[in-house]
Structure 1
């Protein structure tokens, strides 16, 4: 499986920082030039596009040989991804405005967009935590970097390309590492997880990971954005720029903590994890005006992705189940009726009288469905185990 390690570069001088920024500008402007040729002449394969633009990129944008090749490859990869998204329907139905815009103009790259570096352009020295990196102003040697101990450990098995990115004035190197994937365990039951807005995650063990604190944080930032946007002053715009990613980082951190806790619990108890398949829920649900912000800021897909990759690293199977009626069905007698859920938090079965927290009841139903799906032959069963 692939894991991403991220490090932050610490240029020793303004000259080094300027050289890195100039390199990203040159590479991405070269990518825009190559993209226009690829779009106009329908040259989406690397070899044919390279024949058409290689010498021009080197001459006009002062790129080295490998930088020009990596830039052309980046353009071709972007068109391949766009084609795959269109084919998969991720850009809407044929004729939709979003899809039409994507197909009607060349792909463009912003100045700080990621630029791939191979081992000819970038050398890692993990012992002293420095890199030697090519720039348009010459090679910068001994550029320091900082990262977490886990990222440093992962970088020891790094192979292939790394991406240089500029984000909020910082320079980051992002490397993708292949790590061995453990065998999936044969689960002794499943830990059901009900995802929600009020309570981010509720497990079938009865543990509630409340979202009240995160929702208050989001509301505070939403109110701050509205207040600053109304001012329309330069100072307000500077503050907006400074805090623009703070909310997303906080939400991602919260999801990481929750995902780690869920996977650790499942691994410790030799269980798999059952999740709801919530794909397309925003299109299916009609929210009131005062609820739309909460619905559209709900990062359930991110939490599901975090759970999936952490579980994969731990050898814990994850099964996605149909979410229909999980909140209306009694987890004891299976009686299903909309009146069973009295309030957002309270579930009382009209048939057997079972009383539970509504999300706890839903998570128990998810655990039952995940176990049943596994017994029927889930797609991600262990390679060695029951057939």
Structure 2
């Protein structure tokens, strides 16, 4: 399976200037290439190459490999735009947002990532050095740092392209690694049910509650600060908002990684599979009052589910997604379904048999039971190969890559 390892580069000022000039040139070329693709209606790699390859090499003094990567990035960005339009992520056809997304060429930010292959980038992992192609020539002996675990992964499994990325003044390389998977467990003894929620991010059928009230207090504090800064609407407030947004996203990702790692380790240790709710489209199905919307949408449950799925796949743990309908209203003991069973957010009390339990634990037990029933009927693990942007802890997004991580159009970034 493909995973991505993030390493931080430690360039000298001269090396950093060369890297910055390279990113700027590549992204200017990509934006120009995008305008050509838009004007001519050509978004396929080889067809677009006929119109742009020579001009890119001559005008921006890019090497052959860099020019080809620029063209491929542009094509990938338009493919992503097409997928988003088809999925309805940019509104309905004819809507203002849809017209804005399709009415102008995709543009690339000056600092967006640039892919490198082994002809443009060479690794000396034991010495912690890399040699990088730039528009100012080959920059050799660029130092980098990473954890011992990441260095070992790089040395054993690195395969494919790497992305050069500048973020908050820091330089990173995102290296693709082909990591072997464990032998899948085809005969689990049981399932570990996971109930995802707002107050308690995750509750297991064993009764363990992870990331509860403490993280919610932090989220509420961040939300209040964000509201205050948005009301000020000054340049300084906007800078702080941008900085805190990235910080909050990193915190959520860190917590999701920790939860996923713990859940998968527990399931692997006990020989069980993992049962999750199928929450696709939950935001469209659930209607909430305005004060509840920010809280409901402020945690990335899809990211948590994806982290659990790829970590489980790597460990050989089966994952089954079940229908979440009425899991919070069904008694885990007698199966009685009643809206009145849910006494409060925290407690469940069955009106039929009198069973009382923590509401989230009761829900996770129902999820576990449904997964076990599906497995006995012949269901297979629904832990797919991980999308490239999901990586192990410390890694950053991959194969959103340069094609889309820096691409933007009139609508939000692709």
Deviation of the 1:233 alpha carbon: 4.4
Q: In 2 relative to 1, CA 300–381 (structure 1 residues): closer, same or farther, beyond 3 Å?
A: closer
Deviation of the 1:351 alpha carbon: 0.6
Deviation of the 1:231 alpha carbon: 3.7
Deviates more, 1:326-335 or 1:276-285: 276-285
Deviation of the 1:316 alpha carbon: 0.4
User: C-alpha distance in 1, partners of 2:177/2:79?
Assistant: 22
Deviation of the 1:237 alpha carbon: 4.1
Q: Please say if residues 347 and 357 of structure 1, whose CA atoms lie closer than 8 Å, have aligned partners that are also in contact.
A: yes
Q: Please say if residues 326 and 365 of structure 1, whose CA atoms lie closer than 8 Å, have aligned partners that are also in contact.
A: yes
Deviation of the 1:101 alpha carbon: 2.9
Equivalent residues in 2 for 1:284-363, closer than 5 Å: 284-363=285-364
User: C-alpha distance in 1, partners of 2:303/2:341?
Assistant: 30
Deviation of the 1:279 alpha carbon: 1.0
Post-superposition Cα deviations, 1:162-221, rounded to whole Å, max 9, x if no partner, equal 111111111111112121222210211100000001001111111111422222212222
- The two structures, once aligned, show a CA RMSD in angstroms of 1.7
User: C-alpha distance in 2, partners of 1:306/1:226?
Assistant: 30
SS at 2:203's partner residue? strand
Deviation of the 1:235 alpha carbon: 4.2
Partner of 2:29: 30
Q: Please say if residues 158 and 176 of structure 1, whose CA atoms lie closer than 8 Å, have aligned partners that are also in contact.
A: yes
Partner of 2:7: 7
**Structure 1 residue 174 corresponds to structure 2 residue 168:** no
Q: In 2 relative to 1, CA 267–97 (structure 1 residues): closer, same or farther, beyond 3 Å?
A: farther
Higher relative contact order (CA 8 A, sep 6+): 2
Post-superposition Cα deviations, 1:117-166, rounded to whole Å, max 9, x if no partner, equal 11111111101111100111221101011112222122122122111111
Q: Please say if residues 184 and 381 of structure 1, whose CA atoms lie closer than 8 Å, have aligned partners that are also in contact.
A: no
User: C-alpha distance in 1, partners of 2:40/2:10?
Assistant: 41
Partner of 2:114: 115
Deviates more, 1:125-134 or 1:212-221: 212-221
Deviation of the 1:377 alpha carbon: 2.1
The alignment of Structure 1 onto Structure 2 pairs a total of residues equal to: 381
User: C-alpha distance in 2, partners of 1:99/1:154?
Assistant: 42
**Structure 1 residue 87 corresponds to structure 2 residue 70:** no
User: C-alpha distance in 1, partners of 2:92/2:312?
Assistant: 33
Q: In 2 relative to 1, CA 269–128 (structure 1 residues): closer, same or farther, beyond 3 Å?
A: same
SS at 2:217's partner residue? helix
Partner of 1:385: none
Post-superposition Cα deviations, 1:350-384, rounded to whole Å, max 9, x if no partner, equal 111111100000000000011111122224289xx
Post-superposition Cα deviations, 1:264-283, rounded to whole Å, max 9, x if no partner, equal 11001101000001111111
Equivalent residues in 2 for 1:363-374, closer than 5 Å: 363-374=364-375
Partner of 1:148: 147
TM-score, normalised to structure 2, is 0.88
Deviation of the 1:96 alpha carbon: 4.1
User: C-alpha distance in 1, partners of 2:238/2:345?
Assistant: 39
SS at 2:192's partner residue? strand
TM-score, normalised to structure 1, is 0.94
* Runs of at least 5 residues in structure 1 that lack an aligned partner in the other structure: 383-387
SS at 2:344's partner residue? coil
Deviation of the 1:339 alpha carbon: 0.3
Deviation of the 1:89 alpha carbon: 4.1
Q: In 2 relative to 1, CA 215–124 (structure 1 residues): closer, same or farther, beyond 3 Å?
A: same
Partner of 1:281: 282
Deviates more, 1:44-53 or 1:241-250: 241-250
Q: Please say if residues 320 and 382 of structure 2, whose CA atoms lie closer than 8 Å, have aligned partners that are also in contact.
A: no
User: C-alpha distance in 2, partners of 1:42/1:381?
Assistant: 38
Q: Please say if residues 374 and 381 of structure 1, whose CA atoms lie closer than 8 Å, have aligned partners that are also in contact.
A: no
Partner of 2:20: 21
